[in-house]
């Protein structure tokens, strides 16, 4: 069977989801997991856009051994120079450069003629080719472009040295039959297309990204660009897990395979969700909490008699942990380490100390500790966000006859304990106001969500929040059996991220600023 390459852009297009900003350590952690998952290409960032993106591409290039590491650029020498520098330690570097092709992009965004756009594209590829052999060219907004002009550009950039042709449906406008026909016509009409791999990059504005990508594959594309959990600009990108499992479960139909180790899918999904703070909807195909839950009596009866009556995928195939082993305070450090290893975590001694300390607290409060509890404990205790302010204590009074009031103690940057109090419209508001009095960093809370990690009244609460500071959005997560403490932890996590990122004040460059 023929192979389809999986190009993961979680760290670039995925990170363009509002509030998904990741620090360099988090990006490296995700890149390592993407390698374990077996992706062929990791797009690690847009190096010229910010020092953070440059560092991420450089650090990912240093740790990834097997996959191609790719950096995005506009088709201009200064972007390409910066990307070449960021990719210099990569074993298999790729430059991903390109320009708009639709008339709406050429006339209103770039304000250049078709001829000029083609000339700039060709020049960009020729320039990049001086430094790197593997050049991918993106035809931005191909989904709404004139196919004749599109084919002209494809032929010219392949002639200039492009090895991969990326056909993005940037706005998620195409339907599967249209998009499949577009890919087929490029393959049939461009005379030198046999010298390049055709790639599809579909957005989900009409909920058709996965269908469009698979239609492109049916028509001859041999690379799919996608993200874990489908995160990305606006409504998101093609979901990696859906495309991969579509090709695997329906192999007889597609006659194609990928190199993805599907047993790593669930773990990768959890990692990306934990680090970006973007929760996975429960009914999400393949990795959602309900993807393998059978609720109606008739279905339960069927599955108990024969799993395949209502399940087309064995949950083990996507790495959903089979037995939910329970740990208790008496389980000890050895049992905890063993279970963490089984769940795929390798922690160093310091991390293990923190996780074990927290595990004992949780086990004391809720007696039974489930795998899901361990996942949030590990996420909380091994976060690589620099801790400028640490929660020491929080105390709240609230009720329908009293004014919600909170007193908070934090350990500040110089180790001193700082305490303050305030009141608010509710207990969380009071806590956040008290924290604000200490940290004094202006921001706006734009999203707050809370969910129970497991069932039962003693479940851990996991709070995810987003705060806005200027143009930037920061995510914070925190867990605890007390929802007020979990809320305080989440807020401090977001504030620490904001403080850490405040140093990189360089202006961001967008793709349209040519
Ligand atoms: O959606 C898009 O067109 C992109 C390109 C930059 C590849 O993300
Ligand atoms: Zn995109």
> What residues pack around ion ligand 2 (CB closer than 5 A)?
13
pLDDT for residue 225 is more than 60? yes
* R_g of the chain computed on alpha carbons: 24
Whether residue 494 contacts residue 468, with contact meaning beta carbons closer than 8 Å, is answered with no
pLDDT > 90: percent of the chain: 81
Please check whether residue 287 lies inside any domain of the structure. Answer: no
Closest residue by Cα to atom 1, ligand 1, is: 170
CATH code of residue 419: 3.30.160.270
Domain match, 377 and 399 both: no
Residues 350 and 446 in one domain: no
**Alpha carbons 479 and 451: distance in angstroms, whole number:** 10
| Of 13, 172, 513, best ligand 1 pocket probe by most atoms within 8 Å of the beta carbon | 13
pLDDT value, residue 322 = 63
Maximum C-alpha span of the chain: 78
**26-69, pLDDT tens digit by residue?**
999 999 999 999 999 999 999 999 999 999 999 999 999 999 99
Residues 217 and 339 in one domain: no
- Give yes or no for a contact between 94 and 136, defined as CB atoms under 8 angstroms apart: yes
Q: What residue owns the CA closest to ligand 1's atom 5?
A: 140
Q: What distance in angstroms lies between residue 321's CA and the mean position of ligand 2's atoms?
A: 32
Q: 408 and 489 in one domain? A: yes
Q: What is residue 509's predicted lDDT score, i.e. its pLDDT?
A: 59
Q: Whose CA is nearest to atom 8 of ligand 1?
A: 13
Q: Which residues line ligand 1 (CB under 6 A)?
A: 13, 138, 140, 166, 168, 170, 201, 203, 511
CA 338 to CA 325: how far, in whole Å? Answer: 11
pTM value? 0.89
Q: Are residues 257 and 311 in the same domain?
A: no
Instruction: For residue range 391-426, list pLDDT tens digits in order.
Output: 999 999 999 999 999 999 999 999 999 999 999 999
Structural domain includes residue 282: no
CA distance 67 to 32: 10
383 or 195, which is more confident? 195
Range of the domain at 450: 390-513
Asked if residue 74 belongs to a domain, the reply is yes
**pLDDT digit string, tens, across residues 85-130:** 999 999 999 999 999 999 999 999 999 999 999 999 999 999 999 9
Please say whether the beta carbons of 209 and 216 come within 8 A: no
Do 249 and 143 fall into the same domain?
Answer: yes
CATH number of residue 7's parent domain: 3.20.20.70
Looking at the predicted structure, is the pLDDT value of residue 263 above 90?
yes
Q: What is the mean pLDDT of the chain?
A: 93
Q: Are 338 and 309 members of one domain? A: yes
What pLDDT does residue 514 have?
Answer: 44
163 within some domain: yes
Q: What is the count of structural domains for the chain?
A: 3
**Torsion sign, CA atoms 290, 292, 293, 296:** positive
Whether residues 401 and 355 fall in one domain:
no
With respect to residue 314, please indicate whether it lies within any of the assigned structural domains: yes
> Domain check: are 37 and 116 in the same one?
yes
Say whether both 148 and 226 belong to one domain.
yes
Residues 262 and 356 in one domain: no
List the residue whose alpha carbon is closest to atom 4 of ligand 1.
Answer: 170
Flag whether 434 is in a domain. Answer: yes
Confidence tier at 504 by pLDDT (50, 70, 90) = low
Atom 7, ligand 1: residue with shortest CA distance: 138
What is the mean pLDDT of the segment spanning 376-386? 91
DSSP characters over 95-129: EEEEEE-SHHIIIIII---HHHHHHHHHHHHHHHH
Q: Of ligand 1's atoms, which has the minimum distance to the CA of residue 203?
A: 1
> Phi, psi (5° rounding) for residue 330?
-85, -5
Residue 15 domain flag: yes
Contacts of 418 (CB under 8 A, 6+ apart): 409, 410, 411, 412, 438
What is the SS3 assignment for 312-374?
CCCHHHHCCCCCCCCECHHHHHHHHHHHHHHCCCCCCHHHHHHHHHHHHHHHHHHCCECHHHH
Across the range 145-158, mean pLDDT stands at: 98
Domain boundary among 247, 276, 305: 276
The torsion angle over the Cα atoms of residues 238, 244, 247 and 251, rounded to 10 degrees, is 180
- Residue 417, in any domain of the structure: yes
Q: Torsion angle of alpha carbons 460, 461, 466, 469, nearest 10°? A: -80
**pLDDT one-digit tens code per residue, 175-201:** 999 999 999 999 999 999 999 999 999
258/411 Cα distance (integer angstroms): 49
Domain end point (choices 334, 357, 381): 381
- Domain-ending residue, one of 332, 352, 381: 381
pLDDT digits (tens, 9 = 90+) for 72-85: 999 999 999 999 99
- Over residues 382-390, the mean pLDDT reads 93
16 and 136 share one domain: yes
136 alpha carbon to ligand 1 midpoint, in Å?
A: 12
Q: 């990696």: which residue's tokens?
A: 240
């Amino acid at each position: 069977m023929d192979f389809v390459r999986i190009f993961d852009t979680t760290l670039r297009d995925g990170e363009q989801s509002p509030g998904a900003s990741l620090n360099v350590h988090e990006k490296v952690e995700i890149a390592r997991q993407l390698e374990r998952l077996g992706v062929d290409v990791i797009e690690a960032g847009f190096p010229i856009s910010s020092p953070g993106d440059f560092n991420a591409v450089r650090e990912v290039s240093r740790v990834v051994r097997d996959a191609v590491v790719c950096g995005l650029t506009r088709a201009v020498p200064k972007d390409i120079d910066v990307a070449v520098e960021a990719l210099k330690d990569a074993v298999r570097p790729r430059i991903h450069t390109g320009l708009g092709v639709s008339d709406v992009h050429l006339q209103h965004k770039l304000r250049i003629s078709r001829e000029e756009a083609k000339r700039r594209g060709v020049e960009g590829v020729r320039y990049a080719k001086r430094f790197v052999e593997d050049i991918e060219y993106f035809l931005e907004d191909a989904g709404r472009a004139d196919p004749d002009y599109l084919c002209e550009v494809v032929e010219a950039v392949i002639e200039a040295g492009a090895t991969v042709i990326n056909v993005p449906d940037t706005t998620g406008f195409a339907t599967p039959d249209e998009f499949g026909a577009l890919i087929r016509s490029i393959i049939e009409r461009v005379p030198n297309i046999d010298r390049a791999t055709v790639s599809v990059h579909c957005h989900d504005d009409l909920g058709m990204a996965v269908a469009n990508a698979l239609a492109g594959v049916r028509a001859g594309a041999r690379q799919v660009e996608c993200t874990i959990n489908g995160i990305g600009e606006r409504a998101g990108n093609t979901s990696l897990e859906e495309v991969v499992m579509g090709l695997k479960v329906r192999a007889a139909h597609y006659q194609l395979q990928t190199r993805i180790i599907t047993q790593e899918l669930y773990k990768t999904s959890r990692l990306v969700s934990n680090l970006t703070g973007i929760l996975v909807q429960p009914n999400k195909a393949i990795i959602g909490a309900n993807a393998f839950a059978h609720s109606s009596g008739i279905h339960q009866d069927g599955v108990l008699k024969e799993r395949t009556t209502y399940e087309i995928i064995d949950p083990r195939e996507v790495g959903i942990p089979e037995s939910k082993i329970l740990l208790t305070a008496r389980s000890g450090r050895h049992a905890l380490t063993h279970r963490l290893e089984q769940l795929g975590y390798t922690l160093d001694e310091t991390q293990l100390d923190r996780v074990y300390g927290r595990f004992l607290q949780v086990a004391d409060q809720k007696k039974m500790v489930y795998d899901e509890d361990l996942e949030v404990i590990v996420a909380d205790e091994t976060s690589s966000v620099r801790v400028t302010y640490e929660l020491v204590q929080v105390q709240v009074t609230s009720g329908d006859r009293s004014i919600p009031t909170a007193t908070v103690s934090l350990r500040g940057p110089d180790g001193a304990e700082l305490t303050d109090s305030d009141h608010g419209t509710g207990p969380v508001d009071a806590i956040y106001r008290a924290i604000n009095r200490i940290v004094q960093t202006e921001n706006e809370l734009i999203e707050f969500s809370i969910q129970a990690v497991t069932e039962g009244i003693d479940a851990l609460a996991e709070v995810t929040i987003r705060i806005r500071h200027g143009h930037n959005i920061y995510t914070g997560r925190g867990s605890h059996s007390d929802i007020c403490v979990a809320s305080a932890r989440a807020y401090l996590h977001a504030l620490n991220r904001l403080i850490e990122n405040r140093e990189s004040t360089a202006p961001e460059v967008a793709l349209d600023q040519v």
